[in-house]
Every structure is written in C-alpha cells, then in structure tokens.
Amino acid sequence: MQSQKRACIDDQTDEASRGSKSRACNECKKHKIKCERRPGVSSCARCHKQGRRCISSGHLQRIVEEDTAWKKVASAHTLQLQSAVLDLLRHCQLPDLSTYKTNATTPQSLDAVLPCPETGSTMAMTRENSQEPGTEAELVPAPMRSLYEVTKLRNLRSNLYSQPRTINMIDNDMISRGVLSLDQAEMLFSLFNRTMNHCLWGGIALTHSDLTSVRQSSSLLTVAILAVASLHVPDQNETFEACYLEFVTLVSKSTLNRYHTLDEIRALCIGAFWLSDLSWKLSGHAIRIATEMNLHRGVQRLLRGKLENFEHVQLWYLLYVCDHHFSIAYGRPPVIHESPAIRNYEAFLQSPLAGPGDVRLVAQVALFIILTQGYDEFTSDVEQPLEEDDFDRLRALTLDVEMWRMKWQPRSADSPYVGCYPSKGVVLHYHFAKFQLNSLALRAIASDALLSMDRRDAINIAISSAISTLSMILHEPDIRSAIVGVPLFTHTMVAFCAVFLLKVAWTRNSQFLNIDKRQVQYLVQNVIEMMSSVAASDRHLTYHIARGLSKMLNRLKNRGISPDAQAYRTASTVAAAGLGGPTQVSIFDTLGTYGFEFDDTWSEFPTFPDPFAIMLPSDG
C-alpha cells in the first residue's frame, strides 16, 4: 500500500516536471521558423548566430517554470513529511495513514493562514496630490518644509494627525484575542480611573470615560492602563507580565510609525510615570511624537483664542513635567527647555477650559523651572564641589522654592478622590526640592574636609528637608494612603532621602551636623515597614525599595561604619604610614550630577526584567 502511494506521488512529480513549455522565442515566432536550443544554452541557435538577445514570451514562461519548480519542492516536502508520519505511526503502534480523514483546505481558509506582507518595509517615495495646508503662506518655513514643497514626497510631510482608521481597534487588541478577559480588563480600568489617574494631576492623562471608548481609540493606551493598574493589584503577576509585554511590543512597533494620535502620547506618559525600567525611553519617545504633531506651538495658538489647542498645551505641559521628573532623577539634561511657551503657564490657566488638575500640573511646571536652573548652574563639572561663591545663588534658589510653596499651596484644591493630597503634595515637593538643591553642598567633598559655615548650613537644610519629606510620607494620612499609586518620582523621593540620611548619619555624625543616628534609623525602619505593607503586585517598586533599604540599614548597623567611611579610614592609615595612596576620599559619589544619580541609587532596588533582552535584539 505504501509503495502504491509513493508511486502515485512520483507520477504527480513526473507530470509536474513534464509541464508544457512555450519554447519558441519572440524572434523565431516572428519569422515562423523552428526555435532550436542546445542543452545548457540560454539562447536559441538563430539568436546566438546573429548575436541577438533571445527573448521568449516571458510572462507565460515564468509562470510555467515557477509553477513547475514549486511543485517539485512541494512534492519533495510531501514525501518527506509522509515518511516521517509513517515512521511515527509505526513507532506509536497507531493505525495506518490511510485510515485518517483528509480535510481539503479551501482558498478562503488558505488566505486566513498565509502571512500578509507587512506595509512600510520599503522606503516610500510617493508624491502628494495636494499641497500641505498653510505652506504657501509661509515665506520662511522650516528647511524640511521647503524640501517637501519642492519634492512633494509624502514621507517628508509633517504628520499632524493620525491616518484615518481602516480597521476596528477592538478586533485585534489583547482582550479580543483572549489574552485578558473582558471582566478583568473592566476591573483594572475602573481601578486606574478611580485611583492612579487622579494622582496624575486630576486625571488629565485619560479623557475616556469607559474601557470601550479607550479600546476604540488606541490599543496602546488600553494596554498602558491595564499594565499600570495590574501593577497595583496583589496576586496579579501573570496579568501584569502579559500586559507589560504587550505594551512593550506595541511601543516597539510605534517607534517607526508615520501616524500618531494624542492618545498614543498619553499612553507613553502613563507608562513613563509608573514603569520604572522604561520611563526614560518612553518619555523621550512621547516628546518626539508631540513635536512632530506641533504640540509645542499650542500655547501661541491658544493665546490667539483657538480653544481647540487647549488639549495640546495640556499634553505639552504634562510632557514637560514627565521629562523633568526623569531628567532630575537620572541627572541628565532635559529635552524640553524653558521656552516662552513653558514660562507662559499663567495664560494657560486663564483659559475657561482649565480646571483644578491643570493648576496642579502647572504648579509642577513652575517648580521644575526652578530646579532646572539649579541643574544648569551647578552641573557643568559634577566632579567638583560647590565653591563658596555658589552658596549665595543656592540660597536664592531655596528662597524661590519657598515662594513657590506660598503661591501654589493655597491654589491646589482638595479632591474627592485623593483628599488633601493636592495641597499636601505641594508641601511634600517643597521639602524635597529644598533637599535636592542643598544636598549639592556635599558633592565631591572629602570625608576629612573642613566645612565652612555656609556649606554646613546648606547641609543642615538638606538633612532637615530629607527628614521632613520622610515624615510627611509616614504621618500625613492622604499622602500615606496614596503612596502605592503615586508616580515614580515620589518613590524616588523616598529612596533618595533615606539613602542620604543613612550615609550622613553613619559617616558625618560628629561634624557639627543636625543629625541623630537613632532618629534616622527610626525613620528609615518605619519607611521600610510602610513600603512592605502596601497592597500591590510583587513587581511594585515599593517592595523593592523596602528590601533595598532593609539590606542597607542592616549592613550599616552590623558594620558600625559605612563602606565609604571605612575606605577613608584605610586611605588615611596608608597615607600616615608613608605608603602613598589618596588622602581625599569622597563619601558621596552617589550624589552625582544633581544631588544624586538615579542609576546608582536604584541599584539597590531591582525591578522588572529588561523587556528588550527578552523580545528585541540588542542595540549594542
């Protein structure tokens, strides 16, 4: 029976190889003579003799030849698979292959399983049919606009708006694919809408009232909300991992898309504010999309009475805060600078569309304008300590922070969702901003260096501000209850203040500074207990902060002296013995460019696995 089947297939193969061919070339057909070809020679005898190019009826010939080649390969594969299946059936003692039914694949079902060619894989050099609106009126446009005006190449055009949707977004998202049930998704959306969304300045990052509306608008925004919400739910690790990987996949695809929407920017902001390992990359990607869509020009248009630009300005300010959150945290220069559009925030608040959330957002903008001035002035050489002349400017910036608090705390109204968090949050950021600025007084200062009065005053301000920051988080009910759902920057405050106080208390407690080791130990221990007791996923940053601080505190208590101070003691001993070696050892290398380096501080607190190591090729 097997030999009969093989014979049948062999016959089919022979028939395929004997497929009819149109052998005569065009020249021989024209003169109606016999077209003779020698084996292995591409030209016929007549064309070869006359030096002509031998061309046959190419289209039909290629179809026949390609069909023949395909059939040969398919037949060989079929024989190979049949032999393998027969061996498996024989080995497993199963019935013969002839007893199994065959299901013929229809053309319709074949189309469903064949992969569709991806669009955008080749460079598009198509021309526009019409002029881009508004270009003719500009005498001196941007250089790329002039290049577009000359060439009309579509891929040079500014993409202000998304391409019209040709498919239903819901049909292909992770909920419709069954990765996440609709009930789970509804629960997570409701959680985000009630809690985390209102920690982000009154919910300005989400304009949709229900999950269906979000799904119809943007799959990226949908999965960003679900990922962040699942991060805040206990025993939802699998859900978080599924949403997280889906989010990374969609973000990766969006990097080369030509068309974007405002909801994509919102999705990237939400991810940046809560997903610690992606924050810097997401913030930068969102800003690039926003500039392509000209959101940075919205303020001027809004001042001209175009209220439709209010949403653009709101998003641009949100991006400014997001950018500066992580610029300050990582000690890197910000992308968005203090242009007139940024500084003119009071005009934005005069709009009839502005609400309490916009006041809270603009308060953050005003604070980061001050902090960025400190970054610009004191980070030109991060390996040098502040000079004595710098403390006058440092006091002026500290006074600016005082004025900021007096201006914005009364304007920050309470919220039915987060209580007094808006006004108390102003005080919290006030303490942390004073700490950030004045902690620079210890940058690059050796352990044995004498401290001037101005430097000691600044260090004591940093110490008291760090203690006040931790005390507010521990003892203000609205802040303590919201700590699990707040954006990453607040968790940065906690970790930075705690690490700073531990290092100062264990290394400089005898240098006339206002710090008590027992008070610091008590504060940090309470922070550890608070962070350990929150209800969230195991992947939430609070648990990692608690574990990291606990290890650090135990290490310092067990040794009785910090590794940095021990290094200083060893270096001093070597120098005293005349053996050489450095005598100036800085104990605050982790204070970095602007008070601290986010990378170094968070090395104690690992979070998520690198998604790009899992899904994407290394960027080298």
Output the pLDDT for position 590: 37
Note the pLDDT of residue 12. Answer: 46
Q: What is the pLDDT of residue 392?
A: 96
Name the residue with higher pLDDT: 93 or 413. 413
Render the burial of 367-376: b for 16+ CB within 10 Å, e for the rest.
Answer: bbbbbbbbbe
**pLDDT at res. 341:** 86
Q: Which two tokens stand for residue 363?
A: 């308060």
DSSP state of 296: G
- Backbone phi, psi, residue 227, to 5°: -65, -45
What per-residue confidence (pLDDT) applies to 85?
78
Q: Which position has the higher pLDDT, 568 or 601?
A: 601
Whether pLDDT at 532 is above 60: yes
Provide mean pLDDT across the span 535-548: 92
Taking the C-alpha atoms of residue 218 and residue 261, their distance in angstroms, rounded to an integer, is: 8
* Rounded Cα distance, 73 and 264, in Å: 46
Higher pLDDT, 137 or 359: 359
pLDDT score, position 569: 39
Q: How far apart are CA 265 and CA 64, in angstroms?
A: 52
Tell me how far the alpha carbon of residue 587 is from its chain's centroid: 33
pLDDT digits (tens, 9 = 90+) for 221-240: 999 999 999 999 999 899 99
Give the Cα separation of 423 and 359 in Å (integer).
11
Other Cβ atoms within 10 Å of 109 Cβ, number? 11
Q: What is the pLDDT of residue 598?
A: 40
SS3 401: helix
The average pLDDT across 484-506 equals 93
CA distance 97 to 111: 27
Reported for 213-219, long-range contacts at CB under 8 A and 24+ positions apart, including other chains, are 214/189, 214/263, 215/169, 215/170, 215/173, 215/175, 216/168, 216/169, 216/170, 217/169, 217/261, 217/263, 218/169, 218/261, 218/263, 218/264, 218/266, 218/267, 219/169, 219/172, 219/173, 219/174, 219/250
Q: What is the dihedral of CA 232, 332, 497, 368, to 10 degrees?
A: -80
Residue-wise pLDDT for 77-98, tens only, equals 888 888 777 777 777 666 676 6
Tens digits of residue pLDDT in 170-219? 878 899 999 999 999 999 999 999 999 998 888 888 989 999 999 999 99
Which stretches of 92-142 are DSSP H helices?
107-113
CB atoms < 10 A from the CB of 343, how many? Answer: 13
For the chain, percent of residues with pLDDT exceeding 70: 72
**Domain definitions of the chain by residue range:** 23-56, 133-162, 169-325, 379-614
pLDDT at 573: 32
- What pLDDT was estimated at residue 17? 44
Which pLDDT belongs to residue 88? 78
3-state SS string for 149-164: HHHCEHHHCCCCCCCC
* pLDDT tens column, 265-292: 999 999 999 998 899 999 999 999 999 9
Region at 203 (left for phi over 0; alpha for psi -120 to 50; beta for the rest):
left
At CA 211, angle to CA 488 and CA 292, rounded to 5?
60
Backbone angles phi, psi at 212, to 5 degrees: -60, -40
pLDDT at 145: 58
Mean pLDDT of the chain: 78
The two tokens of residue 219 are: 């799959």
Q: What is the pLDDT of residue 279?
A: 92
Q: Quote the crossing angle between the two packed helices 356-378 and 390-408, to the nearest 10°.
A: 180
What's the confidence (pLDDT) of residue 566? 42
Residues 6+ apart with CB under 8 A from 193: 203, 206
How many percent of the chain have pLDDT more than 90?
46
